[in-house]
Copies of this chain bind each other. A is one copy, B any other.
């Protein structure tokens, strides 16, 4: 099994490979199309039935209990960040594929045991790098994002997600007809806790809250040469002040919150014109939703005050508040029990990053399993998890879905 998982990971890492050893496989690009085509071949090669839904989610179905419409769904995503690593997402899809193959083989030699079917899933645009918001395919599947709204999401050049999916031939026409009963996702941690604690398996019981505030700073264009300094209304200076203020506020709050300002657009972005419109995407993450919300409120008030003297107006373009959520307690208990049975150390933890499991959890009890990430590094070409750790995750996943498929 080991060699198969590793060789699959190697093969997929070549699609969209970057010179620094990472992967750039943005949703709806030709690299995404190539990775999807390869996954489709792997699905069909394992006698799983391939299905693509209208938002491009791909499924590989093992009919273990043909008389039932129920399914346990296992998956993650093949898309990556521009500076993506070789494990984020793709590990969960490929381990899911091999786990389903193993469970199907076991079901064949233990006839009558399987009570439910199995479906592998590759969710569209988990990363939200090219199209915002993230978790697009899983949110449409869960019914929390309208299909038409998702298809209409546009990238920085105006191309819509619907157009991009059509271009690569992965805009399906029919929803999955199976009824999802449980969802399980295996993922690299992307944080340092498992490595620091020397623990092999992370049982994720829930997620941090997040507040995502997108602000637009409105100034006025003018010539950067002769215009008097006091006459300028510089939206980039205002944005810069807000970015530094945002980081200082997080540090001074001593709440342990995580925060970022990672995306910015500037207009007209010409060296000789005072910037007149700047948009910045700010995030606040905390285990306590009230703290994430409060930090956002305070930041907004302080930002307005800090930039008023610059003659710049602040508009809230988006304010998305994600609360904390508990993942499936039954799935977590089952994962812990499987890990113990297999002799692996484990710990319960929360996820700070968003995952498709969180989107799915709104319509089906969902579980999330972590393996360690070296140095907690992710969204980075140096992202790394060793072979042994990857295999342990796969072993846990396989046994977890066997039990979910066979239990009463």
Chain A interface (Cβ < 8 Å from any Cβ of B): 81-83, 127-129, 132, 134, 189-192, 208, 210, 212, 220-229, 231-232, 234, 236-237, 239-241, 243-244, 247, 250-251, 258-264, 266-276, 281, 283, 285, 351-354, 376-381
Contact = CB atoms under 8 A, between A and B. Distances in A.
- Name the prevailing secondary structure of the A interface residues: loop
A240 B244 CA distance: 6
Contact of A378 (B223, B263, B266): B223
A231 B266 contact: no
B272 A227 contact: no
Nearest to A235: B262
Given A243-B240, A378-B227, A221 B83 contact: yes
Contacts of A251: 229
27 contacts: A81-B268, A82-B268, A83-B268, A83-B270, A127-B272, A128-B271, A129-B273, A190-B223, A190-B227, A210-B225, A221-B381, A222-B379, A223-B353, A226-B258, A226-B353, A229-B258, A236-B243, A237-B243, A237-B247, A240-B241, A240-B261, A260-B274, A262-B270, A262-B272, A262-B274, A263-B271, A271-B283
Given A223-B378, A225-B258, A234-B260, 15 more contacts: A81-B270, A127-B272, A132-B271, A190-B223, A191-B227, A192-B228, A192-B231, A221-B379, A221-B381, A225-B354, A226-B378, A234-B247, A236-B262, A239-B240, A270-B379
Contacts of A212: 271
Given A81-B272, A244-B241, A227 B263 contact: no
A225 B285 contact: yes
A351 B228 CA distance: 13
Nearest to A278: B264
A263 B258 contact: no
Find the residue from A129, A189, A210, A221 having the highest chain B CB count within 10 A.
A221
Query: How many subunits of this chain does the assembly comprise?
Result: 2
Nearest to A381: B221
Given A83-B276, A229-B250, A237-B244, A224 B271 contact: no
B226 A189 contact: yes
Find the residue from A224, A228, A261, A276 having the highest chain B CB count within 10 A.
A224
Contacts of A268: 81-83, 129
Given A83-B276, A258-B229, A376-B226, A266 B263 contact: yes
A243 B127 CA distance: 30
B222 A236 contact: no
Find the residue from A190, A208, A226, A281 having the highest chain B CB count within 10 A.
A226
A231 B195 CA distance: 15
A352 B223 CA distance: 10
A302 to B, nearest CB: 14
Contacts of A285: 225
A213 to B, nearest CB: 11
Given A244-B240, A266-B264, A268-B83, A273 B379 contact: yes
Contacts of A272: 81, 127-129, 134, 262, 354, 379
B220 A380 contact: yes
A237 B244 CA distance: 6
A320 to B, nearest CB: 11
A1 to B, nearest CB: 28
